[in-house]
Amino acid sequence: MKPTNRIEVAQQLTTTGLVPLFYHNDIQTAKNIVRACYEGGAIAVEFTARGAFAYEVFEALVKYANHELPGMLLGIGSITDAAAASLYMQLGADFVVTPVFREDIAKVCNRRKVLWMPGCGSLTEIAAAEELGCEIIKLFPGAIYGAEFVKAIKGPQPWTKIMPTGGVSTEKEDLKKWFNAGVCCVGMGSNLIKKDNDGNFDYLEIETLISATIENIKLIRANH
C-alpha cells in the first residue's frame, strides 16, 4: 500500500535511496519515463514543474500511476510558493520539493501532512527548516556543496536527513562518497533520464541505469 503521510513517505525515499527527477511537456512521454523508472525499481519520482501547463501533465501522471503503477510515489519539484504547492497537493502530489526554503510552503504542506523537502544551503537554514517539521533537506546544487559539506553538517546534527540533487552521478564511487558522508537518498536528473543518439528518450537505458544505481546503493550501505 502506498504511504499516506510525510513520515511514511520520507521512510520510503530513504529505504530506496534514489529519487529520479525530470520534466517533459508531453503527457505520453512523461508516462513512459515514469514507467521506466518504476520498472527499474524506483518507487518515487519527482516531476519538476518547469513549463507552462505543467499541472496538466502532472495530473495525468498521478492518475496513470495510481491505476497502472501500484505503490509509486509522485512528487512535484521546482515549487516556489504556497499557492503552487497547494495546487499540486490537490492534484495528488505525494511530496513537494522546493529549490529554496520558504515558510509559507512548509505551512501548507504541514496542514496536509505532506512531505516537503526545501533547498537549504547552510546549517542555519537547515535548522530553521527542521523547526518547521522538515524531514528531509534538499541540498542543491549538490555538486557545489559536496559530500564534505554533508559530513560537516552530520557532525553537530546527526539526526538531519539530506538528499543532494544536482551533479550526483550514477558512478559507484560518486554514490559511495555521498552515502558514506551520511545522505539518506540522492536525487538525479539527466544522469539517469537518458536519451539516445537521435535525442529520443531511451526507456530501456533509463530502467537499466536505475536498477543498477539502486543495487549499488544497497551494496554501499551494506558495506559501510
Q: Give the three-class secondary structure for 130.
A: helix
Task: Provide CB contacts within 8 A for 71, sequence distance 6+.
Answer: 1, 2, 43
**Spatial separation of the C-alpha atoms in residues 163 and 44, rounded to whole Å:** 13
CA 78, 194, 30, 11 torsion-angle sign: negative
What CA–CA distance (Å, rounded) separates 163 from 118?
Answer: 10
- The radius of gyration of the chain's CA atoms, rounded to the nearest angstrom, is 16
pLDDT digits (tens, 9 = 90+) for 129-164: 999 999 999 999 999 999 999 999 999 999 999 999
CA distance 13 to 32: 21
Q: Whole-prediction pTM value?
A: 0.96
pLDDT in tens, 60-117: 999 999 999 999 999 999 999 999 999 999 999 999 999 999 999 999 999 999 999 9
Cβ atoms within 10 Å of 181's Cβ, excluding its own? 18
- pLDDT tens per residue across span 178-202: 999 999 999 999 999 999 888 899 9
